[in-house]
Amino acid sequence: MIRYIARRLVASIPVLFGVIALVFVLARVIPGDPCRSALGERATDEICAAFSARYGLDQPIPIQFLGYLGQVLTGDLGESIQRSRPVTDILMERLPVTVELTLFALLFATVGGILLGLVAAYRRNSPGDVGVMIGANFGVSIPVFVLGLILAYIFAVVLKDTPLALPPSGRLTPGLSVVPIAIAWGMPDLAGPLRAFLDFLSNMYVVNGLLTLNGALLGDALRHLLLPAIALGTISLALIARITRSSLLDVLGLDFVRTARAKGVAERSVLLRHGLRNALLPIATVVGLTLGGLLSGAVLTESIFNLSGVGRAVYEAITGRDYIVIQGFTLVIALVYIFVNLLVDISYAFLDPRVRLG
């Protein structure tokens, strides 16, 4: 097992290198002058020369690349041109938002999708099954941004003044303050990696609310997270429901299921322990595959619901030609993505002992 993981890690090094190179090249060939987009159109040539020297933009491209590579390997992602702040700082601020959103969308999609798929497979060809499958077809066909806007309209306008009303934008009701976990736990002097980790968690407001037992924060954060998570997770939910249904139908048609039924195993147990347990492998594959889609969809969801996450940061950086931020963020997103795919592969071994990691 450990050997397999190690081999996979080694095998992903060339891909990582390629990703870094591609990001670097893309960020360099984006048209437009970074100096003038950061300092304004009226910046003089002397100021721009100093600007280029400061950010190393006057060096030859290969030298810039080697320098960049060295930085990345030491965990330094450079300093934002537009904001004059280290990219890692901005990342620590933005990444928790996206991680929280993506995790909730994934939770919604996985739990909801497996449940719907179970019902559809168990009551095959019933009105419920047909309904789930029609819904799933619509679910994979509706763009994230259309669903997000429609949900915002329904829950913020149509259902306004009812208990079901939900906020259409932002992460918290204005006025609600967020206390970093470290401070709430009475450790304001804590520093180092642990503090950084706690601060990262603090920026996930739901987690913060849970860990600091702050009910008001937790409730408000959840209410704000609900619509974006549903909008983002629906496509994945539909895909997972479909694969759960078909995978379960495959398994339920096998001999050992008939044997289980014949010897009088309770139907519930047949469905869950014999059926679902053995149908999980294709489901895990689809769950892993949808993660890329979720990260893509996060750009759109964050834009619609006004969430200052990574996706929106990348978009803003690209429109503002902030090379350093584009490089850093795209790189980290790709890293997360590759790492998650590795986790999915490894999870196969746990789900199905027949899969030999070779």
Partner 1 sequence: MSSTAPPATLPTVAEADADEGHAYGLWRDTLRNILRQRSARLGLLLIGFFVVVAFLAPVLATFDPDKGMLDLGEIGAVKRAPPCIHLLGCPADVPQHLLGLDGNFRDVFSRIVYGARVSLFIGVVTVGVAILIGTLIGLVAGYTSGRTDNVLMRLMDILLGFPSLILAIAIVTVLGRSLVNAQLAIAIVAIPLYARVMRSTVLSVREQDFVVATRALGESPSGILFRRILPNSLTPIVVAGTLGVAGAILDVAALSFLGVGAQPPLAEWGSMIGLERNQLFSAPHLVLAPGIAIVITVLGFNLLGDGIRDALDPRLNR
Q: List residues binding partner 1 (CB under 8 A).
A: 14-16, 18-19, 22-23, 26-27, 29-31, 137-138, 140-146, 149-150, 152-153, 156-157, 253, 292-293, 295-297, 299-300, 303-304, 311, 314-315, 318-319, 326, 330, 333-334, 337-338
Residue number, 15 or 266, with CB nearest to partner 1: 15
Residue number, 85 or 160, with CB nearest to partner 1: 160
Q: How far is the CB of 158 from partner 1 (least distance, A)?
A: 9
Q: How far is the CB of 276 from partner 1 (least distance, A)?
A: 20
Residue number, 217 or 299, with CB nearest to partner 1: 299
Residue number, 154 or 190, with CB nearest to partner 1: 154
Residue number, 224 or 321, with CB nearest to partner 1: 321
DSSP string, 36-66: HHHH-TT--HHHHHHHHHHHTTTS-HHHHHH
How many Å apart are CA 137 and CA 47, to the nearest integer? 56
User: What are the b/e assignments for 105-121, b being 16+ CB within 10 Å?
Assistant: bbebbbebbbebbbbbb
Number of CB atoms found within 10 A of residue 4's CB: 14
Q: How far is the CB of 163 from partner 1 (least distance, A)?
A: 20
Residue with tokens 């003089």: 44
> What's the sign of the alpha-carbon dihedral 237, 239, 242, 244?
negative
Two structure tokens written together for 212: 């600091």
Q: How far is the CB of 331 from partner 1 (least distance, A)?
A: 10
Residue number, 222 or 342, with CB nearest to partner 1: 342
Q: How far is the CB of 87 from partner 1 (least distance, A)?
A: 16
Asked if residues 308 and 95 have their Cβ atoms less than 8 Å apart, the reply is no
Q: How far is the CB of 248 from partner 1 (least distance, A)?
A: 14
The C-alpha angle with vertex 271 and arms to 269 and 275, in degrees rounded to 5, equals: 110
Residue number, 148 or 180, with CB nearest to partner 1: 148
Q: How far is the CB of 191 from partner 1 (least distance, A)?
A: 33
> How many helices (H) and strands (E) would you count in the chain?
16, 0
Q: How far is the CB of 18 from partner 1 (least distance, A)?
A: 4
Residue number, 6 or 146, with CB nearest to partner 1: 146
Q: What residues form DSSP beta bridges with 79? A: 86
Any idea how long the chain is?
A: 358
The C-alpha angle with vertex 11 and arms to 7 and 16, in degrees rounded to 5, equals: 135
Sorted by sequence, the CB contacts under 8 Å of residue 131 that are 6+ apart come out as: none
Q: How far is the CB of 148 from partner 1 (least distance, A)?
A: 10
Residue number, 270 or 298, with CB nearest to partner 1: 298
- Alpha helices by DSSP H, listed for 123-264, are 127-141, 144-153, 181-184, 192-202, 205-211, 215-252, 255-262
Residue number, 315 or 348, with CB nearest to partner 1: 315
Q: How far is the CB of 165 from partner 1 (least distance, A)?
A: 13
How many Å apart are CA 324 and CA 79, to the nearest integer? 7
Write the DSSP symbol of residue 271: I
Asked if residues 276 and 119 have their Cβ atoms less than 8 Å apart, the reply is no
C-alpha 4 chain-centroid distance: 26
